[in-house]
Structures are given as C-alpha cells and as structure tokens.
Amino acid sequence: MGKRFTKKKRKKKTSIIIIVLEIVLLLVAIFFLLKIVPKNNDSDVVLFSKCSIIENLMAESELNSDQLILVNKEHAVPDNYDADLVSFGNNKQKANSMIISPMNTMVSDAKAKGYVLNVVSAYRSNELQQKLIDQDYQEYIDKGYSKEEALKNTYDYLMPPGYSEHHTGLALDILCDENEEMDATQANEAGNKWMLQNCTKYGFILRYPKGFEDITGCKYEPWHLRYVGTPVAEFITSNNITFEDFVEILQADKSQSAVLLAKIIRGAAITAINK
C-alpha cells in the first residue's frame, strides 16, 4: 500500500510538472506569436490580405516559372531556358508563344480606342543585342561623346548580350505611331498613357519605371513591357513595386514575406514622394 501510494504520488507529481511545462511552452509560443504578428490596424490587415495573395501567387509562380524568370544586369538568361519562339507581324519578329495572344489583344483594344501601337522589338538573339549595343555606342561617338560616356549611355538602356529580357521573348518595345523616338517623350503620347494604364489587364508590366533605376539597373523606359501574367502584373503595379522586389518577396521565407513586402512598399512610397 505504502509503496503504491508513493508511486501514485510520484505519478501525480510528474503529470503536474508536465502540465506546468506545457503551460510555460504555450505562454512562450503566445509571446513569440504576439511579437511576430503585427498589431491589428488597417494597414496590417491590408498587408495580411496581400500576403494571402502572395501565397496564391507563389503557387502560381511554381506552375509558371518560365514566365516569371528574372533577367537583369545580374541575372543572365539560363542556358537551358526555352523561349518557345513563334513568329508574328508578317514573320518579321519573334516572341514567346505565351505572349502572342495577350499582345495582339492589347494592340487591337488600343486600336479600337484610336491608338496605334507598334511593336518595334520583341525577341532578340545575343548577336542582335550586340549589334544594337555597337550601333548605339557608335551613335554617341558620332555625336562627340567620349568613349567612356558613350559606353555608359549605351548601357543605361541596353543590357549586355545574355542579360537582356528580350532574349526570353517575354519583353516588348512598343512605340506610338505618332512618335518613333525611343526616349522619355513616349510617355507624353496618349497611346502610351493608355498602354501603361491598361497593360496589366493583358499580363504586362512597365518593367523599368521612373525612380526605380537603382533597383532595376535600367533607365526609365515607358516603351518596354514585360509579360508576367495578369495576377502578378496587377500585384506589382498596384503595389508600386518593381519586378526585382516581387521576385525577392516570392523567394523570401514565408514568415518574412509580410515584413519584406511592408518594407518594400514603404520604400516605394518614399521613392514616389521624393520623385
């Protein structure tokens, strides 16, 4: 009886210790959760709903990794990338098969509104990219720039071969009919304004926006669109972030994506104010 009683007592003691430990663990967990989860004010609610959008976009990006490929001065097009090229525009140009239909729809919708949009450049091979670089460089030299200045000006707009989005067949340079200049004056054209206001519907983003040159590594190009699919295009445009930011959010640890998104959106807001 005595032994049994001690055993029972010990058992009781052990279970009390376990319960206490569980409570302590629970309190620690609650403490950390409260620390991680931001206070429930309006902007955080918005942020959290955005995070669920990101989660959906993450799932989608796994399915559509080809259309969300990041190509910039630091990220070359991988050797095994399949641009899946098809011809368009009287077989004079080529683009990735996935953008032909949205591109055609956008151009014809623009036409219906009275704007003629001309796709002047789509897919480019490494050789063509080098040719454009050489041409631009020579033009600057002819205008009297030093070799150093000519090189800098050329690479402000053109990526080196292998590093241009145009190699993916997902990028388009589109000029308005009334202005053939590939410069900032495009943004003054009504057709360009319509295009930039509506391109997300067709899955395109303005890839090199004004004020974000440090992130994109490229000067403002109101004529250069990049296909990323409609949900991603709408997310990037409505949050006023760059494609580089978006890829960073996608690749971040899930628990950190809210924090990162907040940081990026606040950064973008500051950039917009300072513009």
Smallest separation (angstroms) from Zn ion to the CB of 158: 9
- Quote the radius of gyration of the chain (alpha carbons, Å): 26
Smallest separation (angstroms) from Zn ion to the CB of 194: 19
d(CA 68, CA 240): 18
Among 44, 173, 213, 234, binds Zn ion (CB under 5 A): 173
Q: Residue 206: phi, psi to the nearest 5?
A: -75, 110
Residue 181, judged by CB atoms within 10 A of its CB (0-12, 13-18, 19+), counts as exposed
CA distances from 273 to 144, 238, 269, 270 (A): 36, 16, 6, 5
Give the pairing type, strands 171-176 and 93-96. unpaired
Smallest separation (angstroms) from Zn ion to the CB of 70: 15
Smallest separation (angstroms) from Zn ion to the CB of 201: 20
Structure tokens at 69: 């490929």
State yes or no: residue 224 binds Zn ion (CB under 5 A).
Answer: yes
Residue type, 32: F
x/- map, 23-62, Zn ion, by CB under 5 A: ----------------------------------------
Total number of residues binding Zn ion (CB under 5 A)?
A: 2
Q: Measured from the CB atom, is 156 or 173 closer to Zn ion?
A: 173
Binders of Zn ion among 227-266, rule CB under 5 A? none
Smallest separation (angstroms) from Zn ion to the CB of 204: 12
Q: Measured from the CB atom, is 167 or 224 closer to Zn ion?
A: 224
Closest CA to 196 of 241, 236, 237: 237
Q: Measured from the CB atom, is 47 or 120 closer to Zn ion?
A: 120
Contact residues toward Zn ion (CB under 5 A) are 173, 224
